[in-house]
Amino acid sequence: SAVISQKPSRDICQRGTSLTIQCQVDSQVTMMFWYRQQPGQSLTLIATANQGSEATYESGFVIDKFPISRPNLTFSTLTVSNMSPEDSSIYLCSVPGGSYGYTFGSGTRLTVV
Amino acid sequence: QKEVEQDPGPLSVPEGAIVSLNCTYSNSAFQYFMWYRQYSRKGPELLMYTYSSGNKEDGRFTAQVDKSSKYISLFIRDSQPSDSATYLCAMSGLYNQGGKLIFGQGTELSVKP
């Protein structure tokens, strides 16, 4: 299965600022997914990032708040914009893992103060 | 009502016990069922994957799917302290074709030596 490198692993940010999270995959993949895991909650899909097209956002998530880039088949970024304490979460990228499920990055633990 | 319901626990068992983790779901379109294990400060890793109804065994782990009851289970035999983690069930209607994973809330398991 693919190996994902996600950066940064953690950050503490001031409210009103933005943070860009990077996800690098060691193989080419058509689709990459961005999830949010709020404290004590399940993983929720934010958006699906396809190379060469606009990302597809799930209900409750908008491009202005979570802009996504997908410049090639091995890389994607998620930006959390104009942050508030409610954005404090773990953010994870994921890719299809061949025949056996999905592979996840180790996550970015974001704290907004 | 959430699409996927999972008892959040926490669940604490002695070493060697049999552990039963369960999820119920409401969407009859789900065809692919997965169990992920998430250690603290790590991303989820795929543990078991099952298509449609039936059982699947892998070492000390057994996954069961009962589509008629919309109920899935993960059994861990001879549990070990290294099994202490959060276990998440996940489901999808389409696999590797842009299928969105719907996760349960996760069950935190602690296996005491």
Instruction: Read off the pLDDT band of A65 (50, 70, 90).
Output: very high
- Residues of B within 8 A of A104 (CB-CB) are 36, 43-45
Please indicate whether, in this complex, the C-beta atoms of B49 and A40 are within 8 angstroms of each other: no
Which one of A4, A7, A31, A102 would you mutate to disrupt binding with B, by most B Cβ within 10 Å of its Cβ?
A102
DSSP conformational letter for A63: T
Q: Does the beta carbon of A44 lie under 8 angstroms from any beta carbon of chain B?
A: yes
State residue B58's pLDDT score. 93
pLDDT digits (tens, 9 = 90+) for A7-53: 999 999 999 999 999 999 999 998 899 999 998 788 999 999 988 88
**Residues forming a β-bridge with B90:** B34, B103
Q: Does the beta carbon of A31 lie under 8 angstroms from any beta carbon of chain B?
A: yes
Residue A16 region, left (φ>0) first, then alpha (ψ -120 to 50), else beta?
left
Chain B residues 74-113 with CB within 8 Å of chain A? 88, 90, 96, 98, 100-101, 103-106
Question: The tokens 């016990």 sit on which residue?
Answer: B17
Question: The tokens 């060469």 sit on which residue?
Answer: A52
Please indicate whether, in this complex, the C-beta atoms of A92 and B44 are within 8 angstroms of each other: yes
Distance CA A101, CA B33 (A): 9
Please indicate whether, in this complex, the C-beta atoms of B41 and A45 are within 8 angstroms of each other: no
Nearest to B103 among A4, A43, A99 (CB): A43
For the cut 80, the answer to whether the pLDDT of residue A100 exceeds it is no
Nearest to A42 among B42, B49, B106 (CB): B106
- Is A46 in contact with A57 (CB distance < 8 Å)? yes
Nearest to B88 among A6, A42, A106 (CB): A42
Residue of A nearest to B5 (CA): A42
- Is A61 in contact with A47 (CB distance < 8 Å)? yes
Question: The tokens 């410049």 sit on which residue?
Answer: A71
State residue B95's pLDDT score. 58
- Residue stretches of chain B with pLDDT short of 50: none
For the cut 90, the answer to whether the pLDDT of residue A99 exceeds it is no
State residue A93's pLDDT score. 96
DSSP conformational letter for A85: G
State residue A23's pLDDT score. 97
Structural tokens at position A62: 């908008």
Q: What residues have CB less than 8 Å from B88, skipping those under 6 apart? A: A42, A43, B6, B35, B36, B37, B38, B44, B103, B104, B105, B106, B107
- Residues of B within 8 A of A96 (CB-CB) are 96
Please indicate whether, in this complex, the C-beta atoms of A48 and B8 are within 8 angstroms of each other: no
Which of the residue ranges A70-79, A97-106, B17-26 would you say has the lowest mean pLDDT? A97-106
